[in-house]
Structure 1
Amino acid sequence: MSDCIFCKIALHEVPSEIFFEDDEILAFKDIQPLAPVHLIVIPKIHLQSLNDVTLEHERLMGHLFGVIRRLAKELGVAETGYRVVTNTGTDGGQVVGHLHVHLLGGQALNATIG
């Protein structure tokens, strides 16, 4: 989508601090981190939210969560614990209209983070 900031980041039209990239997934640092480790992990294809995920995206979503698991290990939060958050829709707190998952860790997380 031409007006989607996350699509622009995926196309390298907007700079970001990238932690992982392959043909399908991109992980980058959140510009307003809520924890010492706070990455945004997105599919490169534009899906508005989790509501747009269908059976055809099953492999992609498995890959996305595999990337999150690997990043948690690489960033040293897998052993102590981390949070994975997906906000869906306005009432769910979704701000950017592109499916994305927050990876948060590096400190004890309370119920208000995420």
Structure 2
Amino acid sequence: MAGEPQADCLFCKIVAGQIPATVVRETETTVAFRDINPQAPTHVLVIPKVHYPDAASLAAAEPGVASDILIEAGRVALDEKIVEHGYRVVFNTGSGAGQTVFHAHAHVLGGRGLQWPPG
């Protein structure tokens, strides 16, 4: 069922505390933790505690939680001191776009120049 934890989902296991993560922020609806394969000096993932396979399905079903992810992305950027020089918030959707964990999540990237387009 949409929104319910999935037994085979890495991020659902992080939310449940079954898999360790370097958590930098947590709210009632989100968890933010450091990416294990960082693509920038600051690379933090912000995930909803509820399970949806991608950002679009989360936003359609629970727009308030989708908003919470963006709010937390901004707070992560403040905490990590990357606001002044700029940062990027990325939602990958589908394997062709680089999504490897099918649980909605935002990447907060910063701490170096981030040219556009990203590749």
1:18 corresponds to which of 18, 23, 26: 23
User: Are 2:103 and 1:103 aligned?
Assistant: no
* Unpaired segments ≥5 residues, structure 2: 1-5
For the 8 Å contact 2:59–2:65, the answer to whether it is kept is no
Pick the aligned partner of 1:72 from 71, 77, 88.
Answer: 77
CA pair 111-54 structure 1, distance change in 2 beyond 3 A? closer
**Structure 1, residues 42-100: CA drift from partner, whole Å, max 9, x if none?**
00100011231244411111111111111101110011100111100122221111111
TM-score after normalising by structure 2: 0.88
Counterpart for residue 3 of structure 2: none
**2:58 touches 2:65 (CA, 8 Å); kept in 1?**
no
SS at 2:107 equivalent:
strand
The percent of aligned pairs where both chains have the same amino acid is 38
Paired residue for 1:44, among 19, 37, 49?
49
The runs of 5 or more residues in structure 1 that have no matched partner are none
Alignment size in residue pairs: 114
CA gap of 1:5–1:78, structure 2 versus 1, over 3 A, is: same
RMSD over aligned Cα atoms:
1.6
On the 8 A contact 1:34/1:113 being kept in 2, the answer is no
Task: Give me the whole-angstrom Cα distance separating, in 2, the residues matched to 1:56 and 1:15.
Answer: 28
Per the normalisation by structure 1, the TM-score is 0.92
